[in-house]
Amino acid sequence: MKESNTTITQISLMKQKLNAAKLALEEINTDRNEKLKVLIQFITHLSLACKGQNIELDNKLAKLRHHMHNFEQIDEALPELVDIERLLKSQYSHTMSRLEDSRNGLNRVIRQIQRIDAAPDKLKKEITYFKQELNKPFHTVWEYIPKVEKLIFFYEEILKHQFSDADNYKILPQHILLAKELAAKISEIEFRKDQRDQILVIKEVLLGDISLSHLLDSYQTILSLLLDNIAREKTASQDFLFSLNDALLIVHDVVNNVHNNSQRNEQLKGQLNQEINLRVNSTGELVTGADNLNELKTQLTAQLSSIRDALSRKEALEQREQTILRKSIESMRKELNAMSQEASNYKEKLFEHQKLNLLDPLTQLANRTALEDRMEQAYRNHIRYKTPLWIAITDIDHFKIINDNFGHSTGDKTLQVIAMALKNSLRDSEFVARYGGEEFVLLLPDINNDHISILLNRVREKIKNIPFKFKNQRITVTLSIGAAQVMENESLEDAFERADAALYQAKNNGRDRVVIDI
């Protein structure tokens, strides 16, 4: 009995243990299932994260995910896990080498961007900094993507800058030269009074910090002003020709009328003459055939009265003819007077124009065209009469400083004063012209070698002593002068070049001096 009790107790204990073991097993199973679930989830996420990078890896992860449900023991998954680990490792090194390639690619692109001169300075600095950053290797794709984004930003900025500057292209040295030449050219052209302010503004723009669009605008404005002037000139000439034509038509009509009238009058006068002749003849016949004196008397009185009548009609006709002729001549004279007045106005205008075409409008000195005419004339005299001829070229020293410090209008006034002083320091036979900008050319005939230096130095001193005062500042303006005498058998151009070289030397030797090429 005792034994059976013990057995029962043991069985019940075993039952309890079994139950406990069952519960523990259930717990283990639940736990395993939970962990398996987490593992499967992890593998799912891993395969999603790796998807598309390597097809073998994609397949292995999908297979593993599927197999996981069937594995009793995690050990069973080990071979597949090892395989996947190997693939992951090789994928990592593949990704790293791809990232390195991409980094090198970015470096190449950034070097290209750095070559774009048009990029603004701030952006250039940013690009340099970015390039330094690119020296560090990438570890993940996430480091690479922002770099690509940044690169796109640089491109965008450069494009934006380029487009904002689209109509403001870079001004090159040859554009600045063109602007200066245009300024010099318009100084030589005579514009109408109402155009001069506009021309002054354009000149100021051309000689300042000009942009390409300003240069083009200036060309366009000047061309339209010139075209306008040409059109006006054309209209003025046309008006003159029209009035000339009208006057000639009137004169033509008058002459025609006079001619017709005189033809008609000639006819009438012929008839009257005929009538008078007839009467005179019949009077003669009356006298020869007369028997009775009284009858003759009566008949003669009647004949004489008819003759007188015909004569007075003839006289009246002639008077009328003369009056008409006088009137016609008078109206023709008036017309011709008006015409000649018109013609002399036109001639005066043409003359003024011709004169103005030879004058520099700013300084009122002869311009380059006039200088060329005069040089040829002086050269001809030099050849013909074997008289000496000197060419001197003078240039104001550091004139740019006056413009820069006191403005262009002060510069213009300085040019005017110097021009007048130069003109006043020469004799009538000598000649000065504004050659361009701040350069003047002097033609000096009949000066011998001993006197040229004295003369030119006197001119130089005269300018130096002008008491210029700008903005309450006393300024001394000096000249450099280069001169050359036209030698025997030398062309004018060669002599001019020697004078120019002497001027260059005067500038190089320190300015404010005269250099004579001998």
| Min separation Cβ 391 and ligand GTP, Å | 19
Q: Which is nearer to ligand GTP, 210 or 452 (CB)?
A: 210
Q: Which is nearer to ligand GTP, 204 or 318 (CB)?
A: 204
CA angle (492 as vertex; 432, 462 as ends), nearest 5: 25
Q: Which of 307, 370, 392, 411 binds ligand GTP (CB under 6 A)?
A: 411
Rounded distance between C-alpha atoms, residue 58 and residue 52, angstroms: 7
Rounded distance between C-alpha atoms, residue 48 and residue 61, angstroms: 9
Residues 6+ apart with CB under 8 A from 60: 80, 83, 84, 87
Q: Which of 188, 395, 430, 517 binds ligand GTP (CB under 6 A)?
A: 395
| Min separation Cβ 499 and ligand GTP, Å | 15
507 near ligand GTP, rule: CB under 6 A: yes
Question: Cα–Cα distances in Å, from 7 out to 10, 11, 20?
Answer: 5, 6, 19
Considering only 138-146, 156-164, 405-413, 496-504, which stretch makes contact with ligand GTP by CB under 6 A? 405-413
Contact mark string toward ligand GTP, 232..261, x via CB under 6 A:
------------------------------
400 near ligand GTP, rule: CB under 6 A: yes
Q: Which of 63, 398, 423, 462 binds ligand GTP (CB under 6 A)?
A: 398
- Tokens representing 58? 């994609």
Q: Which of 279, 408, 460, 498 binds ligand GTP (CB under 6 A)?
A: 408
CB 152 within 8 A of CB 159: no
- Which residue has the closest beta carbon to ligand GTP? 411
Q: Where are the alpha helices (DSSP H) in 465-509?
A: 492-508
| Min separation Cβ 196 and ligand GTP, Å | 13
CB 60 within 8 A of CB 84: yes
Pick out residues in 360-389 that bind ligand GTP (CB under 6 A): 362
| Min separation Cβ 162 and ligand GTP, Å | 31
Cα distance between the two ends of the chain: 159
SS3 string, 104-157, reads: HHHHHHHHHHHCCCCCCHHHHHHHHHHHHHCCCCCCCHHHHHHHHHHHHHHHHH
433 near ligand GTP, rule: CB under 6 A: no
* Residues catalogued as catalytic: 438
Q: Which is nearer to ligand GTP, 430 or 512 (CB)?
A: 512
Considering only 84-92, 227-235, 368-376, 396-404, which stretch makes contact with ligand GTP by CB under 6 A? 396-404
| Min separation Cβ 447 and ligand GTP, Å | 25
| Min separation Cβ 225 and ligand GTP, Å | 17
Considering only 62-70, 91-99, 162-170, 395-403, which stretch makes contact with ligand GTP by CB under 6 A? 395-403
| Min separation Cβ 165 and ligand GTP, Å | 26
User: Environment class of residue 98 by beta-carbon count within 10 Å: exposed (0-12), middle (13-18) or buried (19+)?
Assistant: middle
Strand, helix or coil for residue 361? coil
Q: Which is nearer to ligand GTP, 321 or 438 (CB)?
A: 438
CB 442 within 8 A of CB 391: yes
For residue 83, the surrounding DSSP H or E stretch is: helix 78-114
| Min separation Cβ 403 and ligand GTP, Å | 5
Contact mark string toward ligand GTP, 335..364, x via CB under 6 A:
---------------------------x--
Q: Which of 47, 218, 403, 485 binds ligand GTP (CB under 6 A)?
A: 403
One-letter amino acid at 469 equals K
Q: Which is nearer to ligand GTP, 39 or 362 (CB)?
A: 362
396 near ligand GTP, rule: CB under 6 A: yes
Q: How many CA within 13 A on the CB side of residue 36? A: 20
187 near ligand GTP, rule: CB under 6 A: yes
One-letter amino acid at 46 equals L
One-letter amino acid at 32 equals R
Q: Which of 188, 438, 500, 512 binds ligand GTP (CB under 6 A)?
A: 438
Q: Which is nearer to ligand GTP, 401 or 487 (CB)?
A: 401
399 near ligand GTP, rule: CB under 6 A: yes
- Tokens representing 332? 């023709």
512 near ligand GTP, rule: CB under 6 A: no
Rounded distance between C-alpha atoms, residue 490 and residue 403, angstroms: 38
Q: Which of 189, 421, 437, 497 binds ligand GTP (CB under 6 A)?
A: 437
Q: Which is nearer to ligand GTP, 185 or 232 (CB)?
A: 185
Q: Which of 106, 110, 199, 207 binds ligand GTP (CB under 6 A)?
A: 207
Count of residues of this chain found to bind ligand GTP when the rule CB under 6 A is applied: 18
Rounded distance between C-alpha atoms, residue 450 and residue 419, angstroms: 25
DSSP sequence for 294-349: HHHHHHHHHHHHHHHHHHHHHHHHHHHHHHHHHHHHHHHHHHHHHHHHHHHHHHHH
Name the DSSP class of 448.
Answer: -
Binding residues (CB under 6 A) for ligand GTP: these are 187, 207, 362, 395-400, 403, 408, 411-412, 415, 437-438, 507, 511
